[in-house]
Amino acid sequence: MTKPVFILSLPRSGSTLLQRLLLMSGHCATLGEPSLLLRFLGEDDVVVRKATYWEFLVSIGMKDIRENWSGFDDAYYSGVKDLMLKIYTGLAGGKEWFVDKTPRYTLICEEIHKVFPDAKIIVLWRHPLAVAASMYKTANKGFWYPEEFSIDLYEGMMRLHAFSRSHEDEICEVRYEDLVVNPAAELKRIGEYLGWDGLEEVLRTPLISSAGGSLGDPTGVKKFKTVSSSNLNKWEELYNNWYRRCWARRYFRGERLAAMRQYGYELPEGISGMRFWRWNLLAGMKDWILAASRNSRRIRNPVLITRFLRKFRKKYGYGVMFR
């Protein structure tokens, strides 16, 4: 039976790069971002599902089952494990390992460990302000709207931090910054954790162009053919007006600041030290207005749900409700 390796990270943290490097070793198979465990794990208020069959009915039914059979959770988790191992084995094509890299597994990392207590887990960190800046350049297509990824930047990050500190002797933690500056040393350390000899040797050949599948980094796989640190700190340049800097200072404080300091991350002086009147007032106003407008529209009229309902009514001739 194929053995899983999980890469846990926030989106835009370099996980696709690490996935490609592992795939080049020949020890494993992988496929984009499988994401399937998000359908089976996660039942709290953070992992919310809406469906035309009314998801809350399933939650009530599962609660009833638990109250009437104490063995439900063990049976359920065992079933999820058996199913996923069969899927990983099928996807692996004879390889001993399968790498599952899905960023939003940060929301269910404790449950993943519970289902796969013997699995290898690599936690990949990157400065969260660099993550937000990368989201601006890719997923948000030029809109400064980190609220689009609040579930990752707030809940996902803190859950991953808590998980890492609870299981630090069982996992392998890597900083993206270290991976691109000193890839040979970091890959050697990862290889020792996985039991893969000579993992650092993959650096001798150009990066493969894809890890397969439809999901994953749409830019880095085209831009970089080797591990490069050339753009390591360019993200700081994107915090170039008062609105973005205020967001960064508001975000990077309290428990998040305390947590990220454990990984060597601080608020850059260029963001924290500049006086307000020098912070590009007009560009900040533009970001603020666009973000407020976009946020208001998404709260009043969620785009994807509206689009689905319109297509559903056109195809079937009647409307449905999500609950």
Beta bridge partners of 175: 125
Residue 317 in this model has a pLDDT that exceeds 90? no
According to the model, what pLDDT value does residue 276 have? 54
Strand ranges, E, within the chain: 3-8, 28-30, 97-101, 120-125, 172-175
According to the model, what pLDDT value does residue 223 have? 63
If pLDDT is split at 50, 70 and 90, which confidence band does 323 have? low
Reported as a single tens digit per residue, the pLDDT across 259-301 is: 999 999 999 987 876 655 556 788 888 888 887 776 666 655 5
Q: Nearest CA to 13 among 105, 86, 89, 88?
A: 105
Top-confidence residue, 187 or 150: 187
How far is 96 from 193, CA to CA, in rounded Å?
Answer: 15
Residue 139 in this model has a pLDDT that exceeds 80? no
Top-confidence residue, 51 or 31: 31
Segment 224-228 mean pLDDT: 80
DSSP state for residue 43 in the 8-state scheme = -
Residue 220 in this model has a pLDDT that exceeds 60? no
Segment 141-160 mean pLDDT: 88
According to the model, what pLDDT value does residue 300 have? 52
**Contact criterion met (CB below 8 Å) for 116 and 81:** yes
In the chain the first and final C-alpha atoms are separated, in Å, by 38
Phi-psi region of 311 (alpha: psi -120 to 50; beta: other; left: phi over 0): alpha
Q: Nearest CA to 152 among 167, 137, 134?
A: 134
Provide the whole-model pTM. 0.90
Residue 195 in this model has a pLDDT that exceeds 90? yes
Strands of 28-30's sheet, edge to edge?
A: 28-30, 97-101, 3-8, 120-125, 172-175
Of 7-11, 132-136, 181-185, 223-227, minimum mean pLDDT range: 223-227
Top-confidence residue, 100 or 149: 100
According to the model, what pLDDT value does residue 289 have? 82
Reported as a single tens digit per residue, the pLDDT across 86-106 is: 999 999 999 999 999 999 999
Burial of 165 (0-12, 13-18, 19+ CB in 10 A): exposed
- How distant is the alpha carbon of residue 68 from its chain centre? 36
According to the model, what pLDDT value does residue 138 have? 78
Tokens 């050949």 correspond to: 205
**Contact criterion met (CB below 8 Å) for 214 and 203:** no
According to the model, what pLDDT value does residue 55 have? 87
If pLDDT is split at 50, 70 and 90, which confidence band does 304 have? low
Q: What are the chain's domains?
A: 3-300 (3.40.50.300)
Residue 253 in this model has a pLDDT that exceeds 60? yes
167 to 75, 89, 120, 171, 275: CA distances (angstroms)? 24, 26, 12, 6, 41
